[in-house]
Amino acid sequence: MAVGASSNEYAGSYLAFGREQTFGTIVTATASLDFLSFNMTTMKELKIHEEVSRSRTMARHSRLGKVIEGEVESYFYPQLNSCNYLLHQAFGGAITSATATGETAGGAGYSHTYAIGDHNQTYTSLSVAVRRGDSSTGKVFNYSGVKVNELSFAAEIDEALKISVSFIGKDSTSTATDYESALDLNTDSCLNFDSGRFSIEGTFASLTASSYWHVQNINFTLSNNLKGDAESRRIGSDTLDVLPPGMASFEMTTNVRFDTTTAFDAMINDTQYAGEFEFLGKTLTGSNQKAGIKLQFPKLFISSAPEPEISGPDGVLQSEITWTVLRDVSSAGGYACQAIVTNLTANYN
């Protein structure tokens, strides 16, 4: 068959993740994720050697190292293994699992606390399997040694909670093996916008589920600043040897109707806050708890809350607030950010 003589459509494609215990040693990826968009690419560019010769054209080249990068956008499902694997890779630290706070005796709800760490855990990286196209003519690719470089949460009016994840990987290959029969199923529901809140108080102990700021959107990004350049390679291989994280950094913005100078004053006065961002889903089967996620920030400052623009005769004044996320050093166990997921899984260790 000539190249390009047939076609493969988006429909029928799948995406799945598995957890590697050795960086770059591929495992079968069975934790599937229904997604909005996915792009993972392998690049192996060439370098033309610009030699002086008797011709006015270049004759030689060499290949450069493999570069495997990608990103996925999807809704966040608290009960999906795939979403929790991505969260674990993004935070990089230990997962502490326990019966959910407030659960009745014998109830099935568990909470899982994700901490920022150095990625030296049991599961060092991810294997990713993607079929591009349907089961008849689609092509399957495997990616190994995949780590999360950035993970973002986005919450907006009339939208379910979304995550966007960018990856860096070690290696890739196409395969004739199709994993569809081994994939798990998604029976969960999206976390809808009307079940979310963004609570801000002067101290972390003061935070409650009934007190919150009336924001129009929230965007939060955790960046691992992975070291995927020459310092992680070696002579004799075209793939990464290691993929260590740099310093974790955070970006968070919210939009809110401008009806008070509270945020402006806090920016001017360098006021310290604590915050909690929570989305809840349906009540879990066999539990009194709801599926959901919390992002907790014990030490927040407002770095930008400028006066709102007046751009015409008709409109509602809006303030865009940019937050700085810092580590709380008031105790030995202080942290900058942690995530708590509630679902029916006992543990992820």
Domain boundaries, the chain: 14-43+65-343
Q: Where are the alpha helices (DSSP H) in 33-189?
A: 81-91
Q: What is the pLDDT of residue 185?
A: 84
- The type of residue at 272 is Q
Angle at 280 between CA 278 and CA 284, to 5 degrees: 140
The pair of structure tokens assigned to 232 is 């992680």
Inter-CA distances, 13 with 102, 130, 140, 141, Å: 40, 7, 9, 11
- Segment 12-22 mean pLDDT: 95
At residue 216, does pLDDT exceed 90?
yes
- Segment 234-239 mean pLDDT: 92
- Segment 326-341 mean pLDDT: 92
What confidence category does residue 269 fall into, taking pLDDT thresholds of 50, 70 and 90? very high
Q: What is the pLDDT of residue 138?
A: 87
At residue 6, does pLDDT exceed 80?
no
At residue 252, does pLDDT exceed 80?
yes
Measured from the Cβ of residue 303, the count of other Cβ atoms closer than 10 Å reads 14
Q: Helix, strand or coil for residue 349?
A: coil
45 vs 265: which has the higher pLDDT: 265
Measured from the Cβ of residue 241, the count of other Cβ atoms closer than 10 Å reads 14
- Segment 43-47 mean pLDDT: 91
At residue 213, does pLDDT exceed 70?
yes
What confidence category does residue 58 fall into, taking pLDDT thresholds of 50, 70 and 90? very high
Residue with tokens 């799945």: 16
Q: What is the pLDDT of residue 94?
A: 93
Q: Across the chain, what does the average pLDDT equal? A: 94
Residues 6+ apart with CB under 8 A from 111: 97, 98, 99, 100, 101, 340, 341, 342
Q: What is the pLDDT of residues 120-166, one digit of tens each?
A: 889 999 999 999 998 888 899 999 999 999 999 999 999 999 999 99
Q: Where are the alpha helices (DSSP H) in the chain?
A: 81-91, 262-269
What confidence category does residue 5 fall into, taking pLDDT thresholds of 50, 70 and 90? low
- The strand ranges marked E within 105-205 are 110-116, 125-132, 139-156, 162-169, 171-175, 196-201
What confidence category does residue 3 fall into, taking pLDDT thresholds of 50, 70 and 90? confident
Of the candidates 218, 182, 184, 221, which has an alpha carbon nearest to the alpha carbon of residue 200? 218
Q: What is the pLDDT of residue 277?
A: 96
